[in-house]
Amino acid sequence: MTDPQQADQLTRRSEWSNWIILVVIALAMFFVFHFRPFGSPNALEHRAGGRKLPALELKPLTGNSQPMVLADLLGQVVLVNFWGPWCPPCYEELPHIAAIEAKFGPRTGFRLLPVSCGRDAREDEDTAALRGDTTALLKQLKIKMPTYADPGGVSRAAFDGVAGFDGYPTTFVLDRKGVIQGVWSGFQPGIEKEMESLVSKLLEEG
């Protein structure tokens, strides 16, 4: 028969094993619901899919960017990326956004709009400070691409009206008619492939 002390040890090990299993399950559920990839079905079947963006009004921030309004983009496939130099997930995503620019930028009919944002969309947002922070981060990441500002949060408010703005980074793709075809909120490794696939598909459609 089993010694009482051995039985007690076995019982304790069993209890610890049960606790470990419960903790693993709880952590798995947490990551699934809070850090799941924002791909299928969320990205391509987002509630904003098929809706037109009502407005877009961007100002130059760094590089050779130029003032941009929605009418300037019709006839082009557009990827808009709202991010901030203060946002850690944005640091991780930004090189992928730059890679998309390098891949599709030379192609006729594609436009990438990386929009650097302060923590709050305010009319009195300090553009000079935002430009300095953005320039410093791009230099740190060794990224060369023009960026834009969204003074007063006009473009974010327009997007929020049709899709709900859930935080940074937020990326969406417009087709040639200005219709939203994909939305990604947050960043997970691998979603850049979804973005590339959608852009490529829309460009091929002509």
Backbone angles phi, psi at 138, to 5 degrees: -60, -40
Residue 164 has what pLDDT?
86
Please determine, for residue 171, whether its predicted confidence score (pLDDT) is greater than 50.
yes
pLDDT band at 85; cut points 50, 70, 90? very high
Q: Report which secondary-structure segment, H or E, holds 181.
A: strand 180-185
Cα separation, 4 vs 24, whole angstroms: 30
Claim to verify: residue 113 and residue 154 sit in the same structural domain: yes
Whole-model pTM over 0.75: yes
Tokens 């599709």 belong to residue: 104
Please determine, for residue 55, whether its predicted confidence score (pLDDT) is greater than 60.
yes
SS3 104: helix
Please determine, for residue 163, whether its predicted confidence score (pLDDT) is greater than 60.
yes
Claim to verify: residue 125 and residue 171 sit in the same structural domain: yes
The answer to whether residues 77 and 203 touch, using CB atoms and an 8 Å cutoff, is: yes
Residue 166 has what pLDDT?
86
Contacts of 119 (CB under 8 A, 6+ apart): 84, 86
Cα separation, 71 vs 81, whole angstroms: 18
Residue 119's domain comprises 57-205
Claim to verify: residue 2 and residue 68 sit in the same structural domain: no
**C-alpha of 201 from chain center:** 19
Task: Please count the structural domains in the chain.
Answer: 2
Claim to verify: residue 27 and residue 74 sit in the same structural domain: no
